[in-house]
Chains A and B, each alone.
Chain A
C-alpha cells in the first residue's frame, strides 16, 4: 500500500471527489494559483480549472457565506480556511446559518458544505492563529465535526465529509500534514461518527483526537515498556456525532480513563466526554476521570513555553500514571 503524507491524502480526497461529482468545488485563500497556503490543494487548479478551484479575497464572512448560499442551491463547496482560527470572522455564516438551515426550513433546504483547514497550536503563530474550535463547533446541533489524526483517516473522512449532506467542520493540523502513513489508492470512506481503537489495551483507556492521538500512542508505548501497563488508545475521529459506544466499551473494559486533547479546558471536548462516561459507566470506574488539555491561557507565543502549554507526551504520561495510582 502506498505510504503518503497526510497532506497528500487530503489532496487525493479532494481530487477524487471533484472527479466523482462535478458539483464539488474548492474555495479559499491561496487555494488556486499559490497551490494552497500549506499545499493541500497542489495541482488542483491546473487540473480542474478556475470554475472549480476558486481563489478568494481575505474575507471569510464573504466567501463562507457564498459557499453556504451556493450549497443551498445544490453546489457542494469545500471551503478552505487558512487557519480555523479565522472561522470567528465567519461565525454567523458557519454556526448560525449553515448549522440551522435544515431545521429552520423544515427540512426543505440543506447545506452540504465542508469547511476545512488546520486547527492547531504548536507552531508559534500566536493566540489569534492557534485555535482548536472543534468543541465550539460541536456545541451546535446541525453540524458535524471531524478531526483526523492520520493520513488514512484524513482521506477517508474528507471523502465522507464531502458526500455528507450537512455542514461538516473538518479540522486538520499543520504539524500532521507531514506525517506519513499507509493510504489506499482509489476510493474508500471512513464513516463519520465512528471512533477507532488505535491501540488495544486492558489497564487504561486514553481517549484523544487529532495530534493528541499521536502523543497518546507514544505514551502507551512508554507505559507498556517501562511500567508494564497496557493502555488502550481510542481515536475519536468524529467529535460530533460522538461514538459513545466505543468510548463506553473501552471504559467498561479498563475501568480507568484519561482524556487528552488540545482544547483549552473549559468546555473542551474532554468535558463532554467526562460527563458521558460518569453518566453511563459510573459503576465501571475505578478512579476519577482525568484530563490533559492545553493550559488555560491564550496560546503562548514563546516556543518552549507553548510546548509546555500544549499536551505533550511528558504531561500525558504523568497524568496517566496518576489515573493508575
Chain B
C-alpha cells in the first residue's frame, strides 16, 4: 500500500506540472486582461495539432517542434486579441469577452474538424512510452519532460513579469489600466503581447497533452476547459505560481483517491475545491495577493 501511495503521489506531482503548463496562459490572461479565456481548452488542442502536423508531415521531433509552434501560437494569440478582444469596450466588456472567447473556440474547433476530421490522432516519440527507474519507481519520461517544461515556462513568465521593463508595464496594467495609460503605457500593446505570451505557453502544454492523452480530436478541448478553470480558480485568478500548486493538488488528490475509489476521484477534487474556496474565496493565492507580488 505504501508503494501505491508513493507512486500515486509521484504521478500526481508530475501530472500537476502538465496541467499547470496548460493553465498558465489562462491565469496570465485573466490577471492582465480580466478575461476568462474559455477558448483555452481548444488552444491547448490547437497546440497539439500544430505539433502533430510538424511531427507527422515534416518529421520534426515534438520538442524541437516547439521552436516553431510557440512563436506560431504567439502570433495566433496576438491575432485573436486584435480581432476579437480589443474592439470590445464599455460596461459589458467582461461578458462580451466571454462570448468572444467562446466564438473563437467554436471557430478553431470548426477549422480543426475541417482539416483533420473527427478521428483520433496522437503524438508519439521515443520518450512518450519510455520511463526511468528512480527510487524503485518507473517514472514516465514524457511526464518528467512535461514537469520540467512547466517549471521552465513558469519561471520564464515570472522573470518576464518581475525582472523586465515590459513586466513592469504588465503589472501596472494588471493593477490599474487607467493609471497605466496616464503614465504612458500602451495598454493595448501590452494586452496584445500578454495574450500572445499566454497563448504561446499553451503551445507547450498542447504538445505535452497530445503526447500523454493517448489520442485527441478537435472536440477534446471541452474535457480540458472545466479542469483548467478549476485549477485557476483554486489557485486564485491571476496567480501563475499558484496554478502549479493548485494543479499538483488536483492531480495528487485524484491519484490518491484512485487507489480506493477511482470513480470518486474527480468529485473529491471538486469537493475539496469548494471547501477551500469557502474558507478562502479568493483562492489559495488570491488575486489581490497575486497582484501585489
Q: Do A and B bind each other?
A: no
